[in-house]
């Protein structure tokens, strides 16, 4: 099947290799009755691929029922999927067919399949293996002929390890896997999607379409897009409606991109809701880097000792001095401190090398260095928090909280 024609039919925008490969796999597996598991982050457009599979299958004239498993309460999910008999539970005033019974000879798309309770997973496995199911409150086996396509943004292998998802069900669903790449990995597609959304919103709201300046386009391509296509669409709509100027500049675009800080600094955020494991890991990485640097300084000290013992000339001492200054400057930038004094040629002796070593030890307090850096940024911008926050690469709200936390005047 022609991938380009499939894109036109289902309104798919993009030319990346991963996208074309996913569409090709969906088209190839469509004529079969194999189960398909679609994986990918939230907002990548997984919901369009079950439609491709259904419409190019022999079941295209049957029903296609999409089910969001995460949106149905645990207490009613079995009734929704498999139906129930009258009087089987409180409120069951009549018998009701479930989605699997209604979709006989058709296709069911189970979105967010990882949200299914374990008991419901057992029922689903039985349908996949035998085509049989029981309505809630019934002892009569019923048959259905349904193709199941599932999707999830959860790492199911990890969910299996945590006993949140059945391993046998995973292998039964994962007969044909299709992975949808995150938007950041679809090189060249981001701007194409932006232009499509900008044109659509211009038509919807009857206004000229927005466009991007050169620097704004560069930012658009380099942003991480944690919300993927859904986030890009929302931001394009906001820009289309709110901004009066139709050419969006880099400064304007940055206001709509959460956490866009080109030069991020380590931020100490004492909040119980923060993932302590993640923070600990980042802190340990920084500490390891500093201690490795300390080891390099010790090695350099030994080298200088050897040079002095051998009666080094002034050029050799200058070279050693430059090495020390370079390492001191790198260490200073990492721990956000500008208080280090660089040794001169005439100061290269045991005491100065020892002082450099002590400086690394004293600078391991991230809180103290961060406090000093905030004070310097405020002094630099005459206590204007907005510009100080931009210079530090943090939000103004975070800066305000840290000013209170560190009791900075």
**What pLDDT is stored for residue 347 in this prediction?**
46
Give domain status of residue 270, yes or no: no
Q: For residue range 41-84, what is the model confidence (pLDDT) as tens digits?
A: 999 999 999 999 999 999 999 999 999 999 999 889 999 999 99
Q: Please report whether residue 233 resides in a domain.
A: yes
Q: What percent of the chain has pLDDT over 70?
A: 74
Task: Verify that 192 and 125 share a domain, yes or no.
Answer: no
The pLDDT score that the predictor gives to residue 270 is 45
Please check the confidence at residue 333 and state whether its pLDDT lies above 50: yes
Do residue 146 and residue 63 come from a single domain?
Answer: yes
Indicate if 142 and 160 belong to the same structural domain: yes
Least confident stretch, 69-73, 285-289, 379-383: 285-289
Tokens of 2: 């022609």
Asked if the model's pLDDT at residue 388 lies above 50, the reply is yes
User: Which is nearest to 280 in space by CA: 372, 357, 366?
Assistant: 366
Residue 190 parent element (H or E): helix 189-205
CATH number of residue 222's parent domain:
1.10.8.60
Average pLDDT over the chain reads 83
Same domain, 151 and 191: no
Do 46 and 131 share a structural domain?
yes
pLDDT of residue 360: 42
Note whether 200 and 335 are same-domain residues. Answer: no
Of 108, 129, 113, 14, which Cα lies nearest the Cα of 65? 108
The total number of structural domains in the chain stands at 4
Residue 271 lies in a domain: no
CA trace torsion 402, 403, 408, 409 (10° rounding): 180
Token look-up 């496995």 returns: 125
Question: What's the pLDDT at 171?
Answer: 96
83 and 105, same domain (yes or no): yes
Domain that holds residue 359: 276-364
pLDDT band at 272 (very low <50, low <70, confident <90, very high): very low
pLDDT band at 284 (very low <50, low <70, confident <90, very high): low
What are the tokens at 169? 């069900």
Using alpha carbons, select from 102, 106, 12, 34 the residue that is nearest to residue 63. Answer: 106
Q: Is residue 340 part of a domain?
A: yes
> End of a domain among 131, 155, 181?
181
* 357 or 115: which leads in pLDDT: 115
The answer on pLDDT for 234 being more than 60 is yes
Please give the Cα distance from 186 to 184 (Å, whole number). Answer: 6
* pLDDT for 6: 96
98 found inside a domain: yes
**Which pLDDT belongs to residue 63?**
96
Looking at 137, 152, 181, the residue that finishes a domain is 181
Does position 345 have pLDDT exceeding 50, yes or no?
no
pLDDT of residue 288: 62
> Residue 402's pLDDT is what?
81
Under the banding of pLDDT at 50, 70 and 90, the label for residue 267 is very low
What's the confidence (pLDDT) of residue 275? 46
- Per DSSP, 116 falls in state S
Whole-angstrom CA distances from 146 to 99, 133, 134 are 10, 12, 15
Per-residue pLDDT at 163: 95
* Gap between the terminal Cα atoms of the chain: 68
DSSP string, 37-77: EEE--TTS-TTHHHHHHHHTSTTTTS-EEEEEGGGS-TTTH
46 shares its domain with 124: yes
Amino acid 279: pLDDT: 47
Structure tokens at 290: 């500093």
Contact (Cβ atoms closer than 8 angstroms) between residue 374 and residue 408: yes
In order, the DSSP letters of 216-247 are HHHHHHHS--TTHHHHHHHHHHHHHHH-SSSE
* Backbone φ and ψ of 148, nearest 5°: -110, 125
141 and 231, same structural domain?
A: no
Does the pLDDT value for residue 375 go beyond 80? yes
> Residue 264: inside a domain, yes or no?
no
Residue 268's pLDDT is 46
> Is there a domain that residue 244 lies in?
yes
Q: How far apart are CA 86 and CA 112, in angstroms?
A: 29
- pLDDT over 80 at 376, yes or no: yes
Among the three residues 255, 286, 308, which one is the final residue of a domain in this structure? 255
């Amino acid at each position: 099947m022609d991938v380009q024609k499939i894109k036109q039919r289902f309104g798919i925008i993009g030319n990346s290799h991963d996208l074309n490969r996913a569409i090709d796999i969906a088209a190839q597996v469509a004529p079969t009755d194999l189960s398909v598991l679609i994986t990918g982050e939230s907002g990548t457009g997984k919901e369009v691929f079950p439609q491709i599979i259904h419409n190019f299958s022999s079941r295209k004239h049957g029903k296609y029922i999409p089910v969001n498993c995460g949106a149905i309460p645990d207490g009613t999910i079995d009734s929704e999927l498999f139906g129930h008999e009258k009087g089987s539970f409180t409120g069951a005033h009549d018998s009701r067919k479930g989605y699997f019974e209604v979709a006989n000879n058709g296709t069911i798309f189970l979105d967010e399949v990882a949200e299914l309770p374990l008991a419901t997973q057992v029922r689903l496995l039985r349908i996949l293996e035998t085509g049989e199911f029981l309505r809630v409150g019934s002892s009569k086996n019923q048959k259905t002929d349904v193709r199941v396509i599932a999707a999830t943004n959860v790492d199911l292998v990890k969910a299996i390890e945590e006993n949140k998802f059945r391993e046998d069900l995973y292998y039964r669903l994962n007969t044909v896997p299709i992975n949808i790449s995150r938007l950041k990995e679809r090189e060249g597609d981001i701007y194409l999607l932006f232009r499509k959304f900008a044109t659509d919103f211009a038509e919807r709201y009857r206004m000229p379409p927005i466009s991007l300046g050169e620097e704004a386009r560069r930012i658009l391509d380099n942003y991480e897009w944690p919300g993927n296509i859904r986030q890009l669409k929302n931001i394009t709509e906001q820009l289309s409606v709110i901004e009066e100027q139709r050419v969006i500049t880099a400064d304007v675009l940055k206001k709509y991109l959460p956490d866009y800080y080109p030069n991020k600094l380590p931020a100490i955020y004492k909040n119980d809701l923060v993932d302590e494991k993640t923070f600990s890991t980042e802190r340990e990485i920084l500490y390891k880097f500093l201690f490795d640097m300390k080891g390099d300084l010790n090695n350099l000290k030994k080298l200088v000792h050897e040079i002095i013992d051998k009666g080094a000339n002034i050029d050799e001492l200058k070279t050693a001095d430059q090495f020390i200054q370079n390492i001191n400057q790198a260490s200073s930038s990492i721990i956000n401190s500008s208080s280090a004094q660089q040794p001169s040629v005439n100061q290269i002796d045991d005491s100065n090398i020892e002082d450099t070593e002590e400086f690394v030890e004293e600078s391991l307090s991230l809180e103290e260095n961060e406090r000093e850096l905030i004070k310097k940024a405020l002094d630099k911008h005459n206590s204007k928090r907005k510009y100080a926050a931009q210079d530090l690469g943090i939000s103004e709200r975070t800066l305000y909280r840290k000013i209170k936390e560190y009791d900075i005047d």
